[in-house]
Amino acid sequence: MSNSYCVEATTGEHPNGQDPKVRDKLSLNVNSEIYGLLKKPCDELRALLLQKTNLSVLRERTPRVFTVAKKAGLTSEVATLWSRILYATLWLGQISFGVLLGLSFVEFGVPIWATAACVASMISLVPLSLVTLKNLIESADVNVYPFQRRLEKMVKTNLSAQVANGAFWVIVVSVLGYFALWPLIEASENAVVGTVLILMYVIFLLYNIHPWYYNSQVLFNSLMTVFPYVVQTVDTYAFALREQLMEEETDIGQSGDECEAANAKAEKLERLHKNFSLIRKVQFLDRSIDSPLSAETRLQVSLAGSGILSLVTIVYSAENETRESKTARVVIGILMSLIFWSYMVNILWSQVASSRRWEAVTREHFNGPLISLKATKMYGFPTLKDFHYYLHNMHDLRGTIMFGLRVDHQRVSQLISLVASATIVSIGYGVRSLL
């Protein structure tokens, strides 16, 4: 047999790959840090997860992440005058971006209500993302340390990638300004209008090199790239659970007392189960249940609402609408709907990634005759049906979306199919109306 699991991190307690009882043909991506956490006593793990991230340890183990987080204003424990000024300039830059974008849309003929919806979401994206990032950084260490090497690598990559992203939006706003705002400045008899618009454009350019904006986007994009790897938590738990179920009687230290041995087995399974639930709760920031209007909820509501209104913009038609206005409305509606729904779909899939992975893992690794025999004969599951009930019904891996709603991957798949169908029909209708 060959050992096909891989260990992501290099620190912490991890499975011994040389042990023949551990080696298996498991297509599982086992994380050594998470494996060590699963093996801790429940009380010790609970105390660890309730702590805030130790910034000195964060600096030591992920120096690049710490530097970027510090420059983004995400590690400051108190609100200083300087931090307030930086947040104020950040909001000013977002507002200037929204005003320029909104005026361009209106000049192209997009309805005001649709423009307002799109602009409101675009303005709120960065501030709400900052709050989400701050929660991630300040939460327990399990959010960062198990994925430290991958996160460090992605941060290094995105330091240059964010320059290209910022340049993209500068080009977009510049093109929109040239075709929409510059004619407005030339046509205006009031010099103040032109001065204000030019000033807003300058503020927007400075906003793109704002240290908090630049570094927060670097960190946000890096975390969103690494975050899907939390499925390693599911893989690691599945590995530890399978390892426990396949344990021989002699490995458990069975004495003559059958009842005592059975209790010892049950306690090990209970510890794994509790620790797994605790780790997932921290990783997924399950705060929406306690705070229905959390930053995550507000961000999702903003994206979903703007996505719906973008689709309405595509199919909306007014009397005496000019050809140019209709073209601008349809094109901008299509672009905005694709942007908003792509963000929303990524968020939804990330929330149910564990649910999808658990279904695949249980189907592949917990349906064999040997492990079924071990579970039913040694671990207190009277029948195979009871064992499968434990796997599928006693592990709540649903994700949390807006307003604290708990959903699994089947429900999200249905929702995404509905959104995709509505988007395709709307875009098709809009394109057909132009032809």
For residue 238, what pLDDT is reported?
A: 92
Cα(233)–Cα(143) distance, integer angstroms: 11
Tens of pLDDT along the chain (435 residues)?
A: 333 344 343 334 445 444 444 434 457 888 888 888 898 888 888 887 777 677 777 788 788 888 888 888 777 655 566 667 777 777 888 888 888 888 888 888 777 877 887 787 778 777 777 777 777 776 656 667 777 888 888 898 988 888 888 888 888 888 888 888 888 787 777 778 888 888 888 888 888 888 888 888 888 888 777 766 678 889 999 999 988 888 765 444 444 566 676 677 778 888 899 999 888 877 765 444 445 567 678 778 888 888 888 888 888 877 777 888 788 888 888 988 898 899 888 888 888 888 888 988 888 888 888 888 888 877 778 888 888 888 888 888 887 788 778 888 888 999 999 999 999 999 999 898 887
Cα(375)–Cα(366) distance, integer angstroms: 10
Closest listed residue to residue 145, CA positions, set 38, 65, 41: 65
Cα(290)–Cα(180) distance, integer angstroms: 45
* CB 35, CB 14: distance < 8 Å: yes
* CB 62, CB 55: distance < 8 Å: no
Helices (H), 177-254: 182-187, 191-207, 211-226, 231-245, 249-252
Six-digit token pair at 319?
């009397």
Hey, how many other C-beta atoms are within 10 angstroms of the C-beta on 409?
A: 22
pTM: 0.74
Cα(303)–Cα(121) distance, integer angstroms: 6
Cα(197)–Cα(103) distance, integer angstroms: 10
